[in-house]
Amino acid sequence: MDLYQRNINVSVHRLGEHQIMLWSTMLDLDHSIRVQLIIDAPSRQIVEASGEMLKVPFDICHRTLENLERLKGLTVERGVARRVSATIGKSTGCVHLVEIVMSAVRLAFPFLIGYGSGLMDRQQLEQLTEEEQIQLGKIFMADTCLAYKTDVETQEEQEL
């Protein structure tokens, strides 16, 4: 028997030739939260950020939505998770907003990788070999998993 369940969903939509819109939602017994981000693909910057909390455990939680405005201008690149957490999380923010914004940003990476390489849709990306796709992915995802491992070993890895 489940004690608790949480669902996080993200969708990416193209807005014209150079922007994408991301919808990210969280739904559980205590929360119903939605966040919308618009990212300018050439600069990889967040140009719009908004959200709503339809259900939260405390009224004070609604105040954290104001922090989303501070995401504008943030560049989606390596290290973005730390900046998102500092901007909308911690003691003046909401860990759940951080979680759903990061889910959206992670899903934006494949589109931004393709866009930066001149690939405008998923079908073009799928025409590349697996190795070519991995090399493109390393631009944003270097050392985040086995597929994107770089050839440079860290001091820790060498000592093992």
| Spans of all domains in the chain | 6-108
Most confident of the ranges 91-95, 138-142, 146-150: 91-95
Instruction: Answer yes or no: is pLDDT of 157 > 60.
Output: no
Closest to 36 (Cα-Cα) out of 130, 96, 118, 105: 105
Q: How high does pLDDT run on average in the chain?
A: 89
Burial 9-45 (b: 16+ CB within 10 A, else e): ebebeeeeeeebbbebbbbeeebebbbbbbbbbeebb
pLDDT of residue 156: 55
pLDDT of residue 155: 52
Range with the lowest mean pLDDT among 62-71, 86-95, 143-152? 143-152
Asked whether residue 65 carries a pLDDT value surpassing 70, the answer given is yes
Residues 7-29: tens digit of each pLDDT: 999 999 999 889 999 999 999 99
> Can you say whether the dihedral through the CA atoms of 134, 23, 17, 84 is positive or negative?
negative
- C-alpha 64/C-alpha 70 separation (Å) is 11
Single-letter residue type at 65: L
**Percent with pLDDT over 70 in the chain:** 89
The predicted structure's pLDDT at residue 158: 52
119 vs 145 pLDDT, higher one: 145
